[in-house]
Amino acid sequence: MLKKTLLLSLLTLLTFANEPDSSKFIAYDSSQQREQTLNNSQNITEIEKDSNEKVEIYATTMDSKDNIVNVSGDVTVIYKEYYLTANRAVYNRAKGELELFENVRANQNGKYKILGEYAKLNILNKERTFKPFYMLDNKTNMWISGDKAFVKDKSFDISSGMVSGCNSSNPMWKMEFSSSDYNGNTKWMNIYNSVLYMYDIPVLYIPYYGRSLDNTRRTGFLTPALGISGSEGFFYEQPIYIAEQNWWDLELKPQIRTNRGYGGYAKFRFVDSDVSKGEISAGYFKEKNSYVLENKLENNTHYGYGIKYENNDFLNSWFGLNLDGQSGIYVKAGYMNDVDYINLSSNNPVNNITGSQLLSKTNIFYNTDNNYYGAYFKYYQYIDENSDTDPVQILPQLHYHHYLDSYFGDHLYYNLDAKTTNYVTKEHLSVTQTNINLPVTLQTSLFDEYLNISYNGYLYFQNSSFSNSDDRITEDLKDGSIARIHNEIAISTQLTKAYTDVTHVVGFSSRYIFDGAETKNGFYESDEEFCSITANKNEPRCDYYNITKVDDTLQLDMTQYFYNSLGQQIVYHRMVQNFVFGSDESDVGELENELDLKILSNISLYNHLYYNYDEGLFSKIYTKLSFNGDSISLSLAHLYRDNFDRTDENRYTSYLTSAASYKYNNHYSFHARYDYDIEKDLRKSAEIGLLYKKRCWEFSLRYVENNKPTIRNGNYDDNIYERYIYVGFALKPLMDSITKSTEFAFMVDEDEEK
């Protein structure tokens, strides 16, 4: 689009709001007189001190007869911050008309220029005429020209012209039009009967093009979305934007997929105060029966809704309070009958969702320097209605936290955290669980702060209360409580050594954790043995037994850094090893090793792994190698997991992600992406594309493959593999830079899971 600042400033320049009348014109002749006038501008100001407007004319020669003033030779007209220059000028005192001839230029603060061979300014009627007309924005190099431009008040008309952002001598693109007009009050510009040329080749006829030239929201049509799919046919979506008041707007997005069906989505946004805003969205899509049968879809309609709202000071704004702390409320709620409600809302497969549940939540909090109060509500909807999973809802959770306090010269620290959570399931089992944590730390340093030593006491309390309309469900679940304290003694040190080219920082720490006193009853006593067995963790009666046994544990930790002479980190290395005493399982915990290595200034390697001694295998390995050069960027990452459950068909995870980009020069750049599930032998997604950029235009081409989940025959795990080609084109600065939402999409093919 035309840059707003360009045309607004142009029209302001042409408008000359509150123009002076003819009596406020002052003309000077001869260079010496002009020099004297410029040097004595204060006297001129005093002459006009009772006037808010003044127009000055400077020229090397002047002659005046009756009401006609003729000036020539380096003519300069000054009005406020505007400067007009020409070879000669004629001023009619009676009519209030100023005519400029030959090499006419207009400039505002050195930013905008209007050029032509003739200009007429009628000061009395506030009219201006330019023949021919040419304007250039020095910032964006956007220019517009016409055979004639007429301006009156805050509106103007241009006859038979063209506009472009490229070199005016041989523009790569240009739009020729028969006429154009602009309304300064509404800030709206119209272009009629335009033809888009690529060089001198006409490529597109546009009978009408309208655009707002400021940020004022207004009702109208937005850029449509187009696409072609082998299975879904032609895709067309025409967004309609409605903004009749400044506190709300509504976007309607009707769409049609010729081989699949039709539908629409809507989003209503509002700002109800200076600290709050929200939105309400809804959508519906109707499938064709032939498409449902051919693709074995579970549903022939897809629908849903969503609500978002946030207020950053609701206690003061709603209840008229004057609290010093910060309060807030955040709401995100929604419903959908299946995942295609989301997948059909966009023509970009990258936006497709893969989850099987939808979370609705509300968070409320009040925060001060010392205390935090919160209330949270979470509701899970399983999109796969055939699932046997019984989601656990949190309705609600109450939270209190007292921030860290210190005593005795920062040697004693404590904080308090308390949560009460009410869990509810579809079977209407209600569990109210309260957790209280009170950690206390006593610390000091020895040997001139070379050695730090601390004691941590962790006081913990939990209570669970069960209830249900059907007592048979809870007859074996007895209310109960557990209270305990466990202890930790920590010793640490950190040393720094500077060398000629590097600085080495190394830290060692050891923590010994041991159990203290404990008391329990009810549910925690009767189910402790059963629920502590790993194989029973997924049993329904153990869903709320989240107590972990505190074993005597020694943890050894080593962390080191290397920095170069510029203070940049070149090596980060951390190792952690746990030793467990008195446990029924292994006495040696998994070895954790983390390494972030900058091999060269543009090559880095990151690795994070866990090694299990009992299995003699790695339980997790994540590795990423990346290169970031001036023109080339590469990254390759791999994630491996092993849960050591030999009965689990999904025991192993092996996932590969990769990305590459290449900037050939300032105009050409290329990129690629590839994600692959090695364990399932499944290509998750792939993309390759190019972007061509010049000052006045952009072109993009992308080929995208994406594995999309769908529901067919009641099977949520089904996938469809889609292939798209995306094409983007932007005429700058007439249009904004290319984004994924402005590209045209063409579906190449789709098939079963690969």
pLDDT of amino acid 108: 67
Looking at 274-356, which runs of residues are DSSP E strands?
Answer: 276-287, 301-311, 326-336
Residue 340, pLDDT above cutoff 70: yes
Q: How far apart are CA 443 and CA 351, in angstroms?
A: 50
Higher pLDDT, 254 or 541: 254
pLDDT of amino acid 655: 95
Residue 262, pLDDT above cutoff 90: yes
Mean pLDDT of the chain: 84
pLDDT of amino acid 249: 95
pLDDT of amino acid 238: 92
The answer to whether 657 and 637 have CB atoms below 8 angstroms apart is yes
Give the confidence band of 187 by pLDDT, cuts at 50, 70, 90: confident
Residue 463, pLDDT above cutoff 80: yes
pLDDT of amino acid 752: 54
Q: Give the rounded percent of residues in the chain with a pLDDT score beyond 90.
A: 48
Give the confidence band of 343 by pLDDT, cuts at 50, 70, 90: confident
The answer to whether 289 and 299 have CB atoms below 8 angstroms apart is no
Residues sharing a CB contact under 8 Å with residue 347, sequence separation 6 or more, in sequence order? 225, 227, 235, 237, 745
Q: How far apart are CA 341 and CA 352, in angstroms?
A: 10
Q: How far apart are CA 377 and CA 208, in angstroms?
A: 51
Q: How far apart are CA 234 and CA 740, in angstroms?
A: 19
Give CA separation, 92 vs 55, 58, 141, 523, 701, in Å: 14, 16, 35, 102, 59
Average of per-residue pLDDT across 587-603: 94
Average of per-residue pLDDT across 174-185: 88
pLDDT of amino acid 43: 29
> Which position has the token pair 């008391």?
519
Higher pLDDT, 648 or 283: 283
pLDDT of amino acid 188: 81
Best-predicted range by mean pLDDT (12-26, 300-314, 420-434, 512-526) = 300-314
pLDDT in tens, 625-671: 999 999 999 999 999 999 998 888 889 999 999 999 999 999 999 99
pLDDT of amino acid 112: 63
Average of per-residue pLDDT across 73-94: 84
Beta carbons within 10 angstroms of residue 175's beta carbon: 21
Average of per-residue pLDDT across 354-370: 87
Give the confidence band of 142 by pLDDT, cuts at 50, 70, 90: confident
pLDDT in tens, 674-695: 999 999 888 889 999 999 998 8
pLDDT of amino acid 20: 36
> Whose CA is closest to 359, among 338, 377, 343, 374?
377
For residue 657, the SS3 value is strand
pLDDT of amino acid 718: 61
Average of per-residue pLDDT across 363-385: 91
Residue 437, pLDDT above cutoff 50: yes
Residue 291, pLDDT above cutoff 80: yes
Residue 37, pLDDT above cutoff 70: no
The answer to whether 113 and 136 have CB atoms below 8 angstroms apart is yes
Residue 515, pLDDT above cutoff 80: yes
pLDDT of amino acid 353: 52
Average of per-residue pLDDT across 206-229: 80
pLDDT of amino acid 21: 38
Give the confidence band of 495 by pLDDT, cuts at 50, 70, 90: very high
